[in-house]
Amino acid sequence: MPTRTESPVVSPAFGLGVAVVAVSTSAILVDLSSAPSLVKAFYRVLFTLLVVGPVALVRHPDAFGRLTGRDYLGATVAGTALAVHFATWFESLRWTSVAASVTLVQAQPVFVALGAFFVLDERFSRRMAVGIAVALGGMVVMSAGEFLSGAAVAGSRPLYGDALALVGAVMSAAYVLAGRSLRQRVALLPYVTVVYAVCAVVLLGLAVGAGEPLVGYPREEWLLFAAMALGPGLFGHTVLNWALAHVESSVVSVSLLGEPVGSTLLAVVVLTELPTTATVVGGAVVLSGIYLTASDRPPDAAVD
Q: What are 66-79's pLDDT values in tens digits?
A: 999 999 999 999 99
Q: 44, 280 in Cβ contact below 8 A?
A: no
**Domains in the chain: boundaries:** 12-294
Find which of 3-7, 83-87, 107-111, 270-274 is predicted with most confidence, using mean pLDDT. 83-87
Higher model confidence: residue 260 or residue 248? 260
Higher-scoring residue by pLDDT: 293, 223: 223
pLDDT of residue 17: 87
Backbone angles phi, psi at 8, to 5 degrees: -65, 145
pLDDT digits over 41-72, tens only? 999 999 999 999 999 999 999 999 999 999 99
pTM of the entire structure?
Answer: 0.86
Residue 253: other Cβ atoms inside 10 A: 25
Q: How far is CA 227 from CA 214, 220, 269, 297, in A?
A: 17, 10, 18, 32
Contacts of 6 (CB under 8 A, 6+ apart): none
- 215 pLDDT more than 90: yes
Give 31's pLDDT tier (boundaries 50, 70, 90): very high
| CB distance 164 to 102 below 8 Å | no
State residue 1's pLDDT score: 42
Are the CB atoms for 237 and 26 separated by under 8 Å?
no
Q: Inform me whether the pLDDT recorded for 294 exceeds 80.
A: no
CA 136/CA 99 separation, integer angstroms: 16
Lowest mean pLDDT among 11-15, 134-138, 258-262, 271-275: 11-15
Distance of alpha carbon 181 from the chain centroid: 19
For residues 12 and 101, the model is more confident at 101
User: Of how many residues is the chain composed?
Assistant: 304
Pick left, alpha or beta for residue 211 (phi over 0 → left; psi -120 to 50 → alpha; otherwise beta).
Answer: left
The Cα 88–Cα 206 span in angstroms is: 12
Nearest to 284 by CA among 127, 99, 119: 99
Locate all alpha helices (DSSP H) within 186-213, ordered by sequence.
188-209
107 phi and psi, to 5 degrees?
-80, 15
Query: What's the mean pLDDT in 247-273?
Result: 83
pLDDT in tens, 144-193: 776 666 554 555 688 899 999 999 999 988 988 888 778 778 888 898 89
Count of C-beta atoms within a 10 Å radius of residue 218: 10
How far apart are alpha carbons 240 and 122 in whole angstroms?
25
Provide the 3-class DSSP secondary structure of residue 156: coil
| 293 has pLDDT over 90 | no
Sign of CA dihedral 149, 287, 131, 80: positive
- Amino acid found at 54: P
pLDDT digits (tens, 9 = 90+) for 92-147: 999 988 988 999 998 888 888 888 888 777 777 888 888 888 888 888 877 777 66
